A and B are shown apart, each in its own frame.
Chain A
């Protein structure tokens, strides 16, 4: 029997929701939560233990978390590590990818993670971790588990994998030679015809591009500074109904002469972290009180009287890119010279 260890976050391990996101690495006996469904699918592989860690704990103390998780993992004498499925959850997917990558590098065992293709964990894996493709949310659990099981079995058996689209994993960023049925010219024409027909395909996956940093602000004491946040900060009651996850839009709110984000007037509706501390004092997310004080002291010229907000939580890359472009256009029109952006 192949010995597998399964990694989950605090939520899927049943330890609690966002209030338990600071849970340190923990060992649980046998399969837990989605691990039970996975265990039922697996042939010849036994989940001997489950390791779990809070998403915030991992994000904030990655080095400690990884060291402890590796120590717990080693004790199980595993043949295989399986992590997730994390779906579109960024912190969870990131933890799955980092831990799996470390496990394969340090222990030399095969590793499998599972998440949505736009999860930041995919980039964190840098092609070093086999990642089963999943839907963006937990509704895709039923499809995810058998797919993970088949890939785990392939890894355990050392079977050479077919192409990503056939086996249901995400491209790892390398190419393998194979004989194509049609020449490059013919395939390119097919792609072009498909594109004219409204379907854009590619034989090569794209990555994130970079942008050159613009020159620094010449004189902040005369500059107009704007506040932008991805932390879901909105007026109390969320009058415009900013979604708590997968926002399809951004919003702009007048600050008027306000010098602080008062807790009775603002709140955060971000669905990706525990907002208790943020709602006690929204300046912890958007520091209007501090920048106002610094403007009064002359350190900053002026604060833009509008702030921009969205929830950067499971937002598709294309959507986040267009939010950025739209907000940037407004900021430029308003003569903004510097931006203080807050995320989680």
Chain B
């Protein structure tokens, strides 16, 4: 819901969540799947950087509504 309202205000927003299906249903547009509910940005810095970089890339990309991106495994 936060993602949708911030995007409605015109600010591109990427939502990192491990429950992308729910994010899609409530209408978030830029969604990156995190590895786990208890640590959506991973456990260590290497994994975190990979997820954040993927999220930044999505902020720089034109997307269709409710697009979900996966993070490539290392």
Which positions in B face A, CB cutoff 8 Å? 1-19, 21-23, 25-27, 29-30, 34-43, 45, 48-49, 51-53, 55-56, 59-67
Contact (Cβ within 8 A) A285 B37? no
Contact (Cβ within 8 A) A56 B65? no
Residue from B2, B23, B39 in contact with A284 in the complex, judged by beta carbons closer than 8 Å: B39
| CB of A259 within 8 Å of the partner chain | no
| A120-B26 in contact given A213-B7, A339-B14 (Cβ < 8 Å) | yes
Contact (Cβ within 8 A) A216 B11? no
Residue from B21, B27, B40, B60 in contact with A216 in the complex, judged by beta carbons closer than 8 Å: B60
Residue from B3, B4, B11, B59 in contact with A331 in the complex, judged by beta carbons closer than 8 Å: B11
Specify which chain A residues have a CB less than 8 angstroms from the CB of B7 in the assembled complex.
211, 213-214
| CB of A145 within 8 Å of the partner chain | no
Closest to A126 in B: B25
Specify which chain A residues have a CB less than 8 angstroms from the CB of B23 in the assembled complex.
343
Q: How far is the CB of B59 from chain A (nearest CB, A)?
A: 5
Contact (Cβ within 8 A) B37 A284? no
Residue from B27, B41, B42, B67 in contact with A211 in the complex, judged by beta carbons closer than 8 Å: B27
Residue from A91, A216, A230, A323 in contact with B61 in the complex, judged by beta carbons closer than 8 Å: A216
30 contacts between A and B (CB under 8 A): A59-B18, A60-B18, A91-B19, A123-B26, A208-B25, A210-B27, A211-B27, A213-B67, A214-B11, A228-B13, A276-B38, A277-B38, A283-B41, A284-B42, A284-B43, A285-B40, A286-B41, A290-B48, A294-B52, A310-B2, A317-B1, A321-B1, A324-B2, A328-B11, A331-B9, A339-B3, A339-B11, A341-B14, A343-B17, A344-B37
Q: How far is the CB of A56 from chain B (nearest CB, A)?
A: 5
Q: How far is the CB of B14 from chain A (nearest CB, A)?
A: 6
Within 8 A of B (CB), among A203-223: 208-217, 220
Contact (Cβ within 8 A) A213 B63? yes
| CB of A231 within 8 Å of the partner chain | yes
Specify which chain B residues have a CB less than 8 angstroms from the CB of A344 in the assembled complex.
17-19, 37-38, 40
| CB of A88 within 8 Å of the partner chain | no
Specify which chain B residues have a CB less than 8 angstroms from the CB of A277 in the assembled complex.
38-39, 43
| CB of A23 within 8 Å of the partner chain | no
Closest to B6 in A: A328
Contact (Cβ within 8 A) A340 B63? no
Q: How far is the CB of B42 from chain A (nearest CB, A)?
A: 7
Specify which chain A residues have a CB less than 8 angstroms from the CB of B26 in the assembled complex.
120, 123, 208, 317
Q: How far is the CB of A259 from chain B (nearest CB, A)?
A: 13
Contact (Cβ within 8 A) B3 A341? yes
Specify which chain B residues have a CB less than 8 angstroms from the CB of A213 in the assembled complex.
7, 12, 29-30, 62-65, 67
Specify which chain B residues have a CB less than 8 angstroms from the CB of A275 in the assembled complex.
38
- Complex: A323 Cα to B63 Cα, angstroms: 24
| A329-B18 in contact given A231-B40, A283-B41 (Cβ < 8 Å) | no
Contact (Cβ within 8 A) B1 A331? no
- Complex: A291 Cα to B52 Cα, angstroms: 7
Specify which chain A residues have a CB less than 8 angstroms from the CB of B36 in the assembled complex.
56, 60
Q: How far is the CB of B8 from chain A (nearest CB, A)?
A: 5
Contact (Cβ within 8 A) A343 B16? yes
